[in-house]
Structures are given as C-alpha cells and as structure tokens.
Amino acid sequence: HAKDCHRGTAICFAPEHEAQLRSHAVIEQALRSADLETEFSLVYQPIVDVAEDRVDAYEALARWTSPTIGTVSPGDFIVVAERSGLILDVTRALLRRALADMATWPAEVRLSFNLSAHDIASSACRADIMEIVRQSGIAPGRIIFELTETGLMRDLVDGRDALTELKALGVGLALDDFGTGYSSLSYVHKLPITKLKIDRSFVTNICEDTASLNVIRAIIDLCRNLGFDCVVEGVETVEQMLLLRSAGCRFMQGYLLQKPLPRDEIEALGGSRLPVASKPVRQLQPAI
C-alpha cells in the first residue's frame, strides 16, 4: 500500500493504520520533535475582489509533512498544537516566513494570516507577534489577522482587549468562519474587527436553497452597516459565484477562483492580477 503512494517525499499510510497513527498523542509527539523550518510550509489562497478583478490578499495556510507520521491536515495539527501549547512556536515560525514571502509581492496585495485565540491570549505572546511584524519591515496595513469566532467566544472580554491591542499596530482583523459559532449577531459589532469571512457552509447549497442566499445577503448588509469588509469562503462553482455577485458580494475565496498554492506558483501567476484559474470571473459576465 504505502509503496504505491508517493506524494513528494511524504510517506502515505494505509487507511487502516491512519486512525491509530493520527491519534492526538501521536501527533503531539511528532509535533514536539518537529523541525518547524523544514517540515512546515505555507500555501497561499487568494481572496479575490470580483468587482475589480484583482487579488486583494493571499491567505497563508499551513501544511505539515512529518518524516515519521506523514502529512497531517491543519484541521488536525492546529488543535493538537493549541492543546499542547506548541501553537506559539508554530505561529511565530510561520508568521516570519509569510512576511518574508511577501517581500516580492506587489504592494497592493495583502497577507491574511490565521492566528489562534491561544496566540493572542497572553500579552507576552501578543508582544512577540507585534515584534515579528515590526522586524519584517512590512507595513502593518498590508496584514490582516484572521481569528475564528469560536476561538474568540471562549472569552469575549479578554478577546476584545487583545484584539484592540493588536489593531493598534495598524493591522486589519477578520472574524473567520463567521456563522459557525453562536449568537454571532449579538456581539459582532462590539469587536474591533475590520472584516467578516462568511463560512463556506452557507455557500454550499445557495443554488438550491434561497434561504441560505438570504442569510448571506443579510450578513453582507450587516457588514455594510458596520463598515466591515465581507468575504465569502468556499466558492466552488461558477453558478455560486454569479449568484453571490448578484447578491452584492465583492470579495470571494474558493477553489473556483484558486486552490491554495505554494509561494513560487502564485508568483509565477503574476501577483495581483487574477490567476489563470479565475478566468471564469471575467469570461462569464452576464450578457447585457
């Protein structure tokens, strides 16, 4: 099994071994001994401004291939990193790398970087993050930190103060996976955020279900009223994209527009101009 399955130098395990191999304890052990510089990489997925036909930002997404347990998805290793306290080391290493990667990007293209609520929980950790930003020489206005709703909700008051401190640096702040937590609408205006990212679960069946589209419309409206940017995640089909555009959605992200790609591949695609895979945005303008 493992013999026929080569993905780069990664080792692929037979599915029956996977559950056991990927238990939290095993992931944690591999993470403790991981070389963050060589085993971790970043891929970038554009957030596309469909009104202006350009890339507004690239979101950095972490990838990990361990020499002992193979490729582990961020959905699995981020949780383990948070629980074990290793997340800060991962965050620091990846943030440094993403900011270094940005050096060759056009100045109008921003970086969207996922932070864990754990990363901003202590003032010492926030200071580290801010210091990394300062040392990079990248203008803070070109950086957006994404935090998930669920993570922030664990302690709203502290979370708010932590965000306020980060924001003072001049970075943008996005509430990620919006709509998957609870009581969102009752607190969202109290957070010092600049952007909402509507979770992809709302997009999945907008073509069949008008209620989902109405929810997205309502959130877009809310964002307009509160002065937030609004991004819809998980756009996979041309039909979804056209429907979202007619609902007033300006910023989109998803496999239709571009899958996450390594740094050299996004550079080859030409910076802020739309990548090849997003051609449908331009080609499928509704006929007038």
What's the closest the beta carbon of residue 252 comes to Mg ion, in angstroms? 12
Containing 251, the helix (H) or strand (E) segment is strand 251-252
Q: Binding segment for ligand C2E among 108-116, 134-142, 209-217, 269-277 (CB under 6 A)?
A: 108-116
Tell me the residue nearest to ligand C2E as measured from the CB.
Answer: 254
**CB closer to Mg ion, 70 vs 159:** 159
Q: Burial letters for 125-157: b for 16+ Cβ neighbours within 10 Å, e otherwise?
A: bbebbbebbeebebebebbbbbbbbebbeeeee
Q: Let me know: does 219 contact 190? Beta carbons within 8 Å.
A: no
Q: How far is residue 156's CA from residue 262's CA, in Å, rounded to a whole number?
A: 35
In the list 62, 102, 133, 281, the residue contacting ligand C2E (rule: CB under 6 A) is 62
The two three-digit tokens of residue 29, written as one number? 């052990």
Stretch that binds ligand C2E, among 6-14, 15-23, 161-169, 228-236 (CB under 6 A): 228-236
Closest to 125 measured CA to CA, from 172, 80, 162: 162
78 binds, among ligand C2E, Mg ion, none (CB under 5 to 8 A by kind): ligand C2E
Site for ligand C2E in 135-154 (CB under 6 A): 146, 148
Choice from 33, 68, 73, 122 touching ligand C2E (CB under 6 A): 73
Q: How far is the CB of 91 from Mg ion (least distance, A)?
A: 13
- Provide the CB-side half-sphere exposure for 32 (13 A, CA): 9
* Residues whose CB is less than 8 angstroms from the CB of residue 99 and which lie 6 or more positions away in sequence, other chains included: 111, 132, 133, 136, 138, 143
Binding span for ligand C2E by CB under 6 A among 31-39, 49-57, 113-121, 208-216: 113-121
Q: Judge whether 216 and 249 are in contact, CB under 8 Å.
A: yes
Neighbours of 77 (CB within 10 A): 27
3-state helix, strand, coil in the chain (%, to 5): 50, 20, 30
Among 101, 146, 149, 229, binds Mg ion (CB under 5 A): 146
Contact positions with ligand C2E (CB under 6 A) in 237-276: 253-255, 260
Q: Measure the N-to-C terminal CA separation of the chain; round to a whole number of Å.
A: 55
Instruction: Indicate the residue among 3 and 76 with the shorter CB distance to ligand C2E.
Output: 76
Out of 21, 61, 222, 269, the only residue in the binding site for ligand C2E (CB under 6 A) is: 61
Identify which range of 18-26, 67-75, 153-161, 167-175 contacts ligand C2E by CB under 6 A. 67-75
61, interface contact from ligand C2E, Mg ion, none, CB < 5-8 Å by kind: ligand C2E
Chain residues binding Mg ion by CB under 5 A are: 114, 146, 176-177, 197, 233
